Amino acid sequence: MGKAIPHIKTILKTLLGFILLFYVFNSKMVDFASLKLILYNPIHLLVAFSFLSFSILCCCLRWFLIIRIQKLSQSFPSIISLTLIGNFFNTFMPGSVGGDLIKAWYIAGREPEKRTRAVFSVLIDRVLGLGVIVCYSAVTLLFFTQWLKGNSQLQMTAVVVWLFSSSCLLFSLFFFWPSFWGFSIVNKGLLLLHKKRRIGEITDSVMTFKDQFPTVAGSISLSIFSVLGTILFNIYLGNLLNINLTYGQYFFIIPLALTASAIPLLPGGLGTGQVAFFTLFKWMGAPNPQLGATLCTLLQVYTILFNCLGAICYLKSKRNGTSTLSKEAFGNLGSPTPCL
């Protein structure tokens, strides 16, 4: 029975995803006529690929800085290839983080002596991205607190994003404060963690970052630029759809909607993304929240087309024989599932 539980969970999540997708289509949440007009214009495709390329480049540079801290041997071209392969699999795996499992699988196979650090680099890369995404919404709400008046949904959302962002800031202050690691209770805790070999290896991976604040700050800056590019891309698509939102509303809605799209139900965030965009547009008082779901669908179409470029890197990797470690060896690493 225990072995069947994961399969049951997968079936239930997939079923829920299809229910959401049916709801999206049945409620006419997406304006396919507008999508057709935009998608048939090659200029928009060129602009979309430019925005997506910029965001991907920032993400690759961020991950490259992280693996330098972890003292891994991957080159920047290798990181680009693995990122594109991961994005390609995002198109076919549940949520928008399935490709990270593939990235972890590949880089662990290419770093046989440092598998734990290799997998951990993918996890920390995703955590940094998630932190910056949520902080965008948190900071935006600080400048537009008038949105919260009389809106219980936004008030609850504000509490969550502010708590998360404050926790991230507090953790960072302690982590990069040199005196913190001099407390005896902290050192005793580290010794306890090292009693378990695998946990000790993960702890060592984390500790490599405490003296690398400039590099971590650089990674965070790259995340800021990556998310900024994504938001500006959504603003561009929103203008094509004649969506009546302010820039501030975009800076609040898009990060949260993309985070919700990562819920692993259907590949590429299908269904969950549309509902998330529609809901947040409605909470913000948009006159036509259906355009939010249409914006999400347009973003997904362009992203899927762009991610297909990763198939080239994947086929090249298979042809060159740069496959990964065995399933058994990878399983010994524990679950590398990232947060986002």
Q: Give tens-digit pLDDT for 232-274.
A: 999 999 999 999 899 999 999 999 998 887 776 666 677 788 8
Q: Over 90: is that where the pLDDT of 174 sits?
A: yes
Question: What integer is the mean pLDDT of 333-338?
Answer: 33
pLDDT in tens, 273-317: 888 999 999 999 888 888 999 999 999 999 999 999 998 888 887
Kindly give the residue spans of alpha helices, DSSP state H, lying in the chain. Answer: 4-26, 32-39, 42-69, 76-90, 98-110, 115-143, 152-175, 184-193, 197-207, 213-240, 247-261, 272-283, 290-307, 310-319, 327-331
HSE, side-chain direction, 13 A CA sphere, residue 300:
27
Hey, where are the domains in the chain? 31-176+208-331
| pLDDT confidence band for 147 (50 / 70 / 90) | very high
Q: What does the chain come to in residues?
A: 340
pLDDT in tens, 32-88: 888 888 999 999 999 999 999 999 999 999 999 999 999 998 999 999 999 999 888
Question: What integer is the mean pLDDT of 90-104?
Answer: 71
185 vs 6, which has greater pLDDT? Answer: 185
Question: What integer is the mean pLDDT of 108-132?
Answer: 90
Q: At what angle do helices 98-110 and 76-90 cross, to 10 degrees?
A: 150
Q: Over 60: is that where the pLDDT of 339 sits?
A: no
Q: Over 50: is that where the pLDDT of 202 sits?
A: yes
Question: What integer is the mean pLDDT of 119-138?
Answer: 93
Mean pLDDT score across all residues of the chain: 85
Contact 338, 102 (CB under 8 A): no
Q: Over 60: is that where the pLDDT of 127 sits?
A: yes
Q: Over 80: is that where the pLDDT of 332 sits?
A: no
Per-position DSSP letters for 61-124, written without gaps between them: HHHHHHHHHTT----HHHHHHHHHHHHHHHTTSSBTTHHHHHHHHHHHHH-TTSHHHHHHHHHH
Give the residue among 110, 15, 31 at the shortest CA–CA distance from 295. Answer: 31
Q: Over 70: is that where the pLDDT of 331 sits?
A: no
Report the amino acid identity of residue 62: R
pTM to 2 decimal places: 0.85
329 vs 318, which has greater pLDDT? Answer: 318
pLDDT value of residue 272: 82
Q: Which residue has the tokens 């609040």?
A: 252
| pLDDT confidence band for 333 (50 / 70 / 90) | very low
pLDDT value of residue 25: 66
